[in-house]
Amino acid sequence: MTSTVAQTGVAGNAVPSVGRTYQVRTYGCQMNVHDSERLAGLLEAAGYRRADDGADADVVVFNTCAVRENADNKLYGNLSHLAPRKRGNPDMQIAVGGCLAQKDRDTILRKAPWVDVVFGTHNIGSLPTLLDRARHNNVAQIEIAEALQQFPSTLPSARESAYAAWVSISVGCNNTCTFCIVPALRGKEVDRSPDDILAEVKTLAQAGVLEVTLLGQNVNAYGVSFADPTVARNRGAFAELLRACGRIDGLERVRFTSPHPAEFTDDVIDAMAQTPNVCPALHMPLQSGSDRVLRAMRRSYRADRYLGIIERVRAAMPHAAITTDLIVGFPGETEEDFAATLDVVRQARFAAAFTFQYSKRPGTPAAELAEQLPKAVVQERYDRLIELQEQISLDENRAQIGQTVELLVATGEGRKDNLTARMSGRARDGRLVHFTADRETPARPGDIVTATVTDAAPHYLIADAGILTHRRTRAGDMHEAGQRPNGVGLGMPGVGQPTTTAGGCR
C-alpha cells in the first residue's frame, strides 16, 4: 500500500458528507463503467446524492483509463477546467481514481495540486473515507494499494440502468501483451466463484433486469485463478457459467466481454449456441492480422487460428455478429504486415471494429522498441483500414434489411432520436437499431419490441415500418418510475477468505 499526504492546510473545518452532491466522470472500458457504478453506490451509502444533470457537484470523481496516450491529456485538461471552481469554492472536492491514478500516483498532485484524493484500482472502496479525511484535515490524500483488497462486487452499487447490468466475473489479467499496461495496473487475474456470480445475476433478474454482461479482462480464462483457494482450477468454468445463466428465470439476454483468442475453446462456442438466452454476438480482439506482429505483441495465437475460431462460431451460429479490436502502426509494422491485417479483415467480415492507432505507453515493452512509426504513416494506414471496415460493416448491415429483429429498448443511444421521432434499441446480436416509435403507446427503455429492418448504415440499422409487437416489462416499469436495482453487491467478503464451495454451475 502506498499512502501519502500533501497540500497542507488548516484542519478541523470539515463539511459533513450527508446532503453533498457528487458526479462520477468515467473514461475507458466497461470495467471502468462498472467500477463507477460501485463508486456511486459507495458515495450514496455514505450520504451523498447524485448531482442533477447540468448542476455543479460538491464532489467530482474522475474514474480514469490509462490505455491510450491521450488519456493523460484528457484528465489534466478536465482538471484544469475545474481549478477555477475549486478556488471559488474550497469546500468542493475532486478525486481521481482508476488506472491512470494507479499509474501516475504522485504525479497527479504535482500537476494538479488542487486535487483532494487520489486512489487506485485496487482500493475503490476507500473513496468515502479518503474524502472525509481530506475534508477534515484539509490535506490531500493519496492511497494506492498494490494488490486487490476487496472484490468490487462486494461493494454497494448505484446502477445506471433498470434493464441491463454489468456483472464482474474476474479482475486482472495474466497475459503479457507488449502494448498493454492493464496487467500492471489491474494486477494478476482473480476470479469470483460461480456461486457468487450466479447469486448476483439471480438477484438482478429478480429485480427485473433483462440483460447482463459478464465482465473480465479475459473472460474465457475464467476458472484459472479463483479468489477462494479452496476452489479448484477449472478450465471449463466459463462455458459452465454461460449454461448456468441460461437456467435463471427472467434473464433474457447474456453477453460477455472480452475473450482472448488464444484461450477461446469449442466448449464456449457450444455453450453459446445451445443456451437460448446467450446472445449471438462475440467481441473477439484480433489486434493484427500479421503473425510477425502478433508475435511481437506477445499475442499467443496466429491469424489462421483466429480465422478458424470465427469459422467455427459461424458454423454454430450463422447469424452471429462478430466484432473486434485492431491496432494500426505497432512498432516495426511493415506495409506487408498491414496488408495481412487488411486480408484478415476481408476474410472475417466483422460487423464492426474498434480501431486504434498504436499508442506508446511508458512502462510497456513495446514503448522501448526502436521502430516506432511516423505519425503520417500510421494515419494513412488507419484511414485505409477504416475505409475497408466501414464498407464491410455497411454491406453486413444491408444484409439485415427485411429481417425482423427483437429489440431491447434503450436510453439515449441515438443522437438524432428526438429530431427523427425515433427510439433506439439493441438487437440480440448487439446491433444498434433506430425504430419509429408508436406515438399512442410509446415503448419505454426496458421494454421489448420487434420491428422490420428497412435501411442500414455502417454503424446502425433503421426500422421505419412501425413496431410489430410491443411487450411491456417490469424493467420498463422501473425505468418509468426512475428506479434502479441499486444495492446489489454480492460476492466474497475479501480476497483469499474462504467462501461456500462453488457448485452453482458445475
Strands 422-427 and 404-409: antiparallel
DSSP 3-state assignment of 64? Answer: strand
Nearest to 353 by CA among 322, 324, 390, 381: 324
**Structure letter (DSSP) for residue 372:** P
CB atoms within 10 A of CB 274: 13
Q: For residues 317-349, b (16+ Cβ closer than 10 Å) or e, as one string?
A: beebbbbbebbbbbbbbeeebbebbeebbeebe
Q: Which residues are bridge partners to 49 per DSSP?
A: 21
Helices and strands of the chain, counted as H and E runs: 15, 22
CA angle 427, 421, 392 (to 5 degrees): 40
177 is in an annotated binding site: yes
| C-beta of residue 331 within 8 angstroms of C-beta of residue 369 | yes
In 3D space, the residue among 399, 393, 402, 451 whose CA is nearest the CA of residue 422 turns out to be 451
Residue 259: which of 246, 276, 242 has the closest Cα?
Answer: 242
Place of cell 468542493: 92
Check the annotation: does 505 bind a ligand: no
245 assigned to a ligand binding site: no
Q: Which residues line the annotated binding site?
A: 29, 65, 99, 173, 177, 180
Q: Which residues line the annotated binding site for [4Fe-4S] cluster?
A: 29, 65, 99, 173, 177, 180
